[in-house]
Homo-oligomer: A and B are copies of this chain.
Amino acid sequence: MIKINTGILAVNGLLTMTLVGQQGVLAQENAKGTAPNFIVIFADDMGYGDIGVFGHPTIRTPNLDRMAMQGQKWTNFYCAAPVSTPSRAALLTGRLPVRTGMSSEKRRVLFPDSKGGLPQSENTIASLLKEHGYRTAAVGKWHLGHLSQYLPTNHGFESYFGIPYSNDMDKIENTDYLTLIENERYQAYNVPLIRNEKILERPADQRIITRLYTEEIISKILEYKNEPFFLYMAHSFPHIPLFRSADFKGKSLAGIYGDVIEELDWSVGQILETLEKEGLAKNTLVVFTSDNGPWLTFNTHGGSAGLLSGGKGGTFEGGMRVPAIFWWPGKIKSGVIMEMGMTLDLLPTFCKLANVTVPNDRIYDGYDISPVMFGTGPDPRDVVFYYRDVDIFAVRKGAYKAHFFTQSEYGPDARKEHNPPLLFDLNVDPSEKHNIADKHPEVIEAIKKIMNQHRATLKPVENQLEK
């Protein structure tokens, strides 16, 4: 491990460090500016259709729109699970939740009474980059275990500031949801706001949480500006309950949901402007995406998956295809990227760009998608597994997606098996309306083979969500 003397400030972009071990050379190089910075901005339950440039008619998102126009709008980008905890575990580890114990059918996510979390044996983007001289910070929702050993500070992040799980947990008032929102009763949700491993405030004042997260991330950009950094900004919103600061109250045409998205958009603008002002834009890759699709159960307090079917919790496209924007001015060509990508791919991609070797002691499910970003090569990703908890419900291979099981996102119905599976051509039929299983038995056979090959790589693992 490397000790970095953070007491001595950078002079002319060179950082004085106390470097220990063989990774010292890399760390030094990185510190000299050869390594790019990474910022992941992760929305919670934002749907595919909730951003202007992804088609929303009444939510105004000028900052995300310009981020997409200057950068890349990825239209076939996926999270690895349709609910929070497993999706987040996948992004940070580059591994499917079924390998890390972070998915479960009984308890789909972690709850305040959970005793489990992301095992310390797992590498995260933060832990890998930190070992190579990166400064790291996590801000916002964690949801990978709130007991001390699971918190960001024990997973490669130097600091953490945020609400450790979903903002609707620890509900302590019985009033109905809409009345609570109307009266801005954030106190009804007794969620803690944590700095590193200590509670700062409880309940967190959710009305200003987006603003606080934004201030925190900007302070980290300014603190680390002369060193390579990885910042993980995981918003608590637009997950319900919806709150926004006074500046955004009633601002959007689209009601409180629109207000909340527009405040997140403002936050994105603050981050991009800070990077530009500090001369960091050309050396910083910013990725904006969402942990899963919109929570449709909440009607106008849930978002929209646009033209996609389904939402959060399920394995139709709306549940797992998420808005994604990559921004790196001068380094990646502006445009629309229709190749597939997944949050699983961020770990190998960032490591590649940072010249960090991913340890080969375990299976990773992500690919280095930098050839797609730079337009230098084909997409290494041709397959998406749509896990619902610990089971594969659907598989996409190229344009084709086969549903072996379907089930209402949150309905009382049991899973329904499809044999033959439903088959859709997602390029021609992104809304999954026209089943073409009878026309392509050979595609179904190929997909079954891929699924079986994948299944053979799985090993039993301790279930963290049922602990």
Interface residues of A in 416-467 (CB under 8 A from B): 425-431, 433-434
A167 interfacial by beta-carbon distance below 8 Å? no
Query: Are A427 and B75 CB-contacts (below 8 A) given A49-B55, A58-B338, A434-B300?
Result: no
**Smallest CB-CB separation from A436: which chain B residue?**
B300
A200 interfacial by beta-carbon distance below 8 Å? no
B338 touches A253 (CB 8 A): yes
B254 touches A427 (CB 8 A): yes
A428 touches B258 (CB 8 A): yes
A33 interfacial by beta-carbon distance below 8 Å? no
- Select which of B52, B253, B257, B307 is within 8 A of A399 by beta carbon: B253
- Select which of B55, B56, B58, B336 is within 8 A of A60 by beta carbon: B336
Chain B residues near A49 (CB, 8 Å)? 55, 306-307
Chain B residues near A65 (CB, 8 Å)? 336
Interface residues of A in 49-85 (CB under 8 A from B): 49, 52-58, 60, 62, 65, 69, 73, 75-76
A166 interfacial by beta-carbon distance below 8 Å? no
A430 touches B336 (CB 8 A): no
A136 interfacial by beta-carbon distance below 8 Å? no
Chain B residues near A429 (CB, 8 Å)? 299-300
CB proximity of A56 to chain B, nearest CB, Å: 7
CA distance A255 to B436 in the complex (A): 15
Query: Are A307 and B427 CB-contacts (below 8 A) given A336-B65, A433-B299?
Result: no
A401-425 vs B, Cβ < 8 Å mask (1 yes, 0 no):
0000000000000000000000001
A338 touches B60 (CB 8 A): yes
A279 interfacial by beta-carbon distance below 8 Å? no
Query: Are A75 and B54 CB-contacts (below 8 A) given A65-B336, A428-B254?
Result: no
Chain B residues near A433 (CB, 8 Å)? 299
A93 interfacial by beta-carbon distance below 8 Å? no
CB proximity of A9 to chain B, nearest CB, Å: 40
Chain B residues near A431 (CB, 8 Å)? 304
A335 interfacial by beta-carbon distance below 8 Å? yes
CA distance A76 to B60 in the complex (A): 13
- Select which of B52, B76, B253, B335 is within 8 A of A57 by beta carbon: B76
CB proximity of A65 to chain B, nearest CB, Å: 7
Query: Are A257 and B428 CB-contacts (below 8 A) given A75-B57, A335-B62?
Result: yes
B57 touches A338 (CB 8 A): yes
Chain B residues near A57 (CB, 8 Å)? 75-76, 307, 321, 338, 430
Chain B residues near A428 (CB, 8 Å)? 58, 254-255, 257-258, 300
A162-204 vs B, Cβ < 8 Å mask (1 yes, 0 no):
0000000000000000000000000000000000000000000
CB proximity of A114 to chain B, nearest CB, Å: 34
CA distance A73 to B56 in the complex (A): 11
**Smallest CB-CB separation from A58: which chain B residue?**
B427
- Select which of B58, B76, B255, B305 is within 8 A of A75 by beta carbon: B58
Chain B residues near A335 (CB, 8 Å)? 62
**Smallest CB-CB separation from A431: which chain B residue?**
B304
A53 touches B53 (CB 8 A): yes
A307 touches B430 (CB 8 A): no
A427 touches B55 (CB 8 A): no
A306 touches B55 (CB 8 A): yes
- Select which of B52, B76, B306 is within 8 A of A307 by beta carbon: B306
CA distance A429 to B433 in the complex (A): 22
CB proximity of A51 to chain B, nearest CB, Å: 9
Chain B residues near A430 (CB, 8 Å)? 56-58, 304
3 closest A-B pairs by beta carbon, nearest first, are A55-B55, A57-B75, A255-B428
Q: List 23 A-B contacts (CB under 8 A).
A: A49-B55, A52-B336, A54-B55, A55-B55, A55-B306, A56-B75, A56-B307, A57-B75, A57-B76, A57-B321, A58-B76, A58-B427, A69-B69, A253-B338, A255-B428, A257-B428, A299-B429, A300-B428, A300-B429, A300-B434, A304-B307, A306-B306, A307-B307
- A interface, CB within 8 angstroms of B: 49, 52-58, 60, 62, 65, 69, 73, 75-76, 253-255, 257-258, 299-300, 304-307, 321, 335-336, 338, 399, 425-431, 433-434
- 14 additional contacts (CB under 8 A) given A58-B430, A255-B425, A300-B434: A49-B307, A55-B55, A55-B307, A56-B430, A57-B75, A57-B76, A58-B76, A62-B335, A253-B338, A299-B434, A300-B425, A300-B429, A304-B307, A305-B307
